[in-house]
Amino acid sequence: MQADSLWTVSEDQFEPKRQNHAETVFTTGNGYLSTRGAMEEGYPGERRTTFISGVFDDIPISLTELANAPDWLELHLLLSGEVFRLDQGEILGFQRVLDLRTGLLRRSVRWRSPMGRTTRLEFERFSSLADPHLNILRVRVTPEDYAGTLEVHAGLNGDVDNEGFKHWEWLGQAAHNGSLWLHTRTRKTHIELGQAARLTLSGPAPIQGDGWDVHNHPTLVRRTALQPGQTAYVEKVVAVYTSRDVPQPLNAARAGLDPAVLPSPAWDHLWEPHAKAWEKEWAACDVTIEGDDEAQIAVRFSLYQLLIAAPRRDERVSIGAKTLSGYGYRGHAFWDTEIFMLPFFTYTRPEIARNLLSYRYHNLDGARKKARNNGFKGAQFPWESASTGEEVTPTWVPYFADPTKMVRIWTGDIEIHISAMICFALCQYWTATGDDEFMLQRGAEVFFEVARFWASRAEWNKSAERYEFRDVIGPDENHDHVDNNAFTNAFARWTLRTARRLLDWVEQRDPALAADYRARLQLDEAELTLWQKVAEKIYFAYDPSTGLVEQFEGYFQRRDIDLAAMEPRTESVQGLLGIEGANLVQVIKQPDVLMLAYLLPELFDERSLHANYDYYTARTDHTYGSSLGPSIQAIMACRLGRQEDAYEHFIRAARADLRDVRGNAGDGIHGASAGGVWQAVVFGFGGLRVNEKGWTVQPHLPAHWKRLTYRFKFRGQEQVIDLPGKGPFSSEEA
């Protein structure tokens, strides 16, 4: 099968120095688990990782992280007694190709061993999208210029760690009679993991084999002989279950490989349903761009990365800021999910969006606990979230510029807009899908509890006669401990008002349910009146004479520095000036007021939009600030008709991981940027706007794009927008 270049990402050289970046880019997975693109035989410095969604474990001191699962990938080849390794001998040919259309990772190698023997090797692997518990890899091995032996070692390695910390304890294993399994458990959270593997070797000559029952690393060995030009086929198929999925994960894994259900070799058997499942995914969400191959590939790459991180069958997990593809942020979920990634799912795969939103609903108790511990009412969602909804932001971390120093992280304490973001995402989902049932049964409760949090967190300023939110961090994290961040205040007001309207709606739709909410949550009239009072009197710093919104109180008094004069630079402004230094100047890490204008456009008129765009764009660290920024900046530029600006910001987002713009792609995919790329194409260039009444499209294509096609679902109906092309560019009602 010839891969289409607009559907692939590839590399033509083995580059140990950038292997961590390549591992992130070549991640394969199916939403249940993801495996970084490490090579089967393993290299020094690699970050060889498989993460299973929701499998968190604790580490000292009160931190929790996704646990790197025992390695299913491992495969060693001995060619006439010489170990196959690319860092020895000579590489005569090398190519790795990730087919985004099917999630297939292929590596083609021609290798001359230190003894001068040349072999051709074709590796392929995928994790099944049709049966998320099954993973498979195969290798075709062809000696070119020698007759010799091939020996294959395929293990399940439980001796893995998260950059030093070991999460797994051994429960049992076997490696005999062709059976290979490993049973382990996370140390603290006690999640059991069952893995079973089957190794097949076939070729023209007889096959021999045995097993090595090394503790915590059971391994199967197979041997055969090959003549020049003959090919041997090696296949390793691995089943993975955890006690989050079934009560007896080991039994389930072993049963999954029973030859009665999975013939040997298994590749073709697994491939067909897997490829079909991918075809269905892409049919629902593909975006095509003519006239810009780089953008085309980058968009598909972004969607691929989101799709392999998305929970299809589990509503108790979210998607971490680094998806399931790296150690960055320890697998924790941020507002990145609701505001940046979720719209893609809401509009193309609403069932997945529903799972992601349900995760927050199931974690309400954790959020209630956080509010209570901080002396507030209702639900305060954590800035960083893992499995329980309790706050998991580390309070101290090593300072990136000098790891011998520790830095206090305040986001978990005071970056409070996250709770409103969850409500916003709920509304967006509701508007797009019309899923009243979900809003009635789950969304409403989240909303009421968050509104109650805002009302109790607000402080009355007697002299100014207004409600305020003091000591917060807004989206722009260059400035912490600020008062009255406009974004936070506006979203507190929005949540309070929307929650009140929502309660009226529930009362109308289902009076018994409304009565139940009022009783169970003890929502009395006094509290509802407070919501209204707070909403009416929340301070919002808008200056009618200039149209500017002050990002927070006193922002305009911070020192204005000339960003252009700092060029050329390869570091963020915060990196150059230090945390304290950056706090004193106006440079922002990511859009804050503009983010507000994007999400709540009704707050800004045309003049104000232009004024804020000009003011804040000049003060934003676009290149090295947050990866969340460029896509939003691109959308706002589109809305203001600034096409060239828009493309410049968009392509910056599109390159974030493919080109490793910030030098940290090795830590995992920037999930928010990937989601932002979709939004920039659809809501920015593609001009889609949606509200309760319907949708409209006002395109702003970059001059060199010949055609853009995207699809989305509105109230269950699939819509395909083909630009430029004939309308109608709106739903009937809009």
Residues at the interface with ligand BGC (CB under 6 A): 321, 329, 334-336, 475, 477, 589-590, 626, 628, 672
Residues in the chain: 734
Q: Which is nearer to ligand BGC, 121 or 634 (CB)?
A: 634
Alpha helices in 408-458 (DSSP H): 411-414, 418-433, 436-438, 444-457
Closest CA to 157 of 204, 113, 211, 217: 217
**DSSP per residue, 145-161:** S--EEEEEEEE-B----
Rounded least distance, CB 339 to ligand BGC, Å: 9
Rounded least distance, CB 651 to ligand BGC, Å: 20
List Cβ<8 Å contacts ≥24 apart for 338-341: 338/421, 338/422, 338/424, 338/425, 339/421, 339/424, 339/425, 339/599, 339/672, 340/628, 340/631, 340/671, 340/672, 340/673, 340/675, 340/676, 340/679, 341/306, 341/671, 341/672, 341/674, 341/675
Rounded least distance, CB 478 to ligand BGC, Å: 9
CA 426 to chain CA centroid, Å, is 18
Q: Which two tokens stand for residue 20?
A: 């961590």
Q: Which is nearer to ligand BGC, 339 or 458 (CB)?
A: 339
Rounded least distance, CB 589 to ligand BGC, Å: 6
Q: Which is nearer to ligand BGC, 335 or 539 (CB)?
A: 335
Backbone angles phi, psi at 705, to 5 degrees: -85, 125
Rounded least distance, CB 29 to ligand BGC, Å: 19
Q: First CA to last CA across the chain, in angstroms?
A: 45
Q: Which is nearer to ligand BGC, 278 or 335 (CB)?
A: 335
Q: Are the C-beta atoms of residues 270 and 237 closer than 8 Å to each other?
A: yes
Sheet strands side by side (includes 707-714): 288-290, 707-714, 717-723
Rounded least distance, CB 331 to ligand BGC, Å: 12
Rounded least distance, CB 667 to ligand BGC, Å: 10
CA distance 664 to 202: 41
CA distance 602 to 244: 43
DSSP E strands in 488-600: the ranges are 542-543, 548-549
Backbone angles phi, psi at 363, to 5 degrees: -95, 15
Q: Which is nearer to ligand BGC, 34 or 626 (CB)?
A: 626
CA distance 588 to 590: 6
Which residues carry out catalysis?
477
Q: Which is nearer to ligand BGC, 296 or 478 (CB)?
A: 478
Q: Which two tokens stand for residue 353?
A: 């969006």
Q: Which is nearer to ligand BGC, 588 or 640 (CB)?
A: 588
Rounded least distance, CB 309 to ligand BGC, Å: 14
- How many beta carbons lie within 10 A of that of residue 152, not counting itself? 24
Q: Which is nearer to ligand BGC, 107 or 589 (CB)?
A: 589
Q: Which is nearer to ligand BGC, 124 or 336 (CB)?
A: 336
CA distance 506 to 450: 16
Rounded least distance, CB 477 to ligand BGC, Å: 4
Residues 6+ apart with CB under 8 A from 293: 5, 6
CA distance 363 to 11: 41
Sheet strands side by side (includes 8-11): 8-11, 90-99, 104-112, 118-127, 134-143, 232-242, 192-202, 179-186, 168-176
